[in-house]
Structure 1
């Protein structure tokens, strides 16, 4: 399962998407660090199919974890060149000017 949480402000929104098992963990590699905070990522728990549907309609996303990244690839919002690794975990960001 994958956590999906929408953060909205007056002028923008960002979708936080994260594999369920990564919540609360921190990953480091050399000078990079990713904190998978509950406050930012822990939203609604969804299936991969439902996550793909939501990703297809988003304009900005912060995506962490193998399952979440595969959903973003299936939704065709990122390509493999957009993915980087930190401490053994994959991460990508997506921005659209829709």
Structure 2
């Protein structure tokens, strides 16, 4: 997995995580197109515990990929039926208000 925490002054942070095999891929489903890049999702690989720790404290998260979404589901952060599918890849955004 890849992981990047975006810290936005005055607005908190956004955790971005994706499955490793999706890096540099472009997913298309109908009118939706998502480019998965290191600029947003990070350039360093992260282990499951690193991703789990970042998601546990995240105010907001943007996650894509079977493994990272399954991890968030197992943590109770998102329900499977709340995820959207882009092709055959699950994607979720998590917001804590």
Q: TM-score scaled to structure 1, two decimals? A: 0.89
1:3-82 equivalent positions in 2, closer than 5 A: 3-10=2-9, 11-82=11-82
How far off its partner does 1:93 sit? 0.3
Closer/same/farther in 2, CA of residues 75 and 43 from structure 1, 3 Å limit = farther
Structure 1 segments, 4+ long, off by >6 Å, are: none
Paired residue total: 96
Instruction: Give the root-mean-square deviation of aligned CA atoms.
Output: 1.3
SS at match of 2:68: helix
CA distance in 2, matches of 1:13, 1:51: 14
1:80 CA drift (Å): 1.1
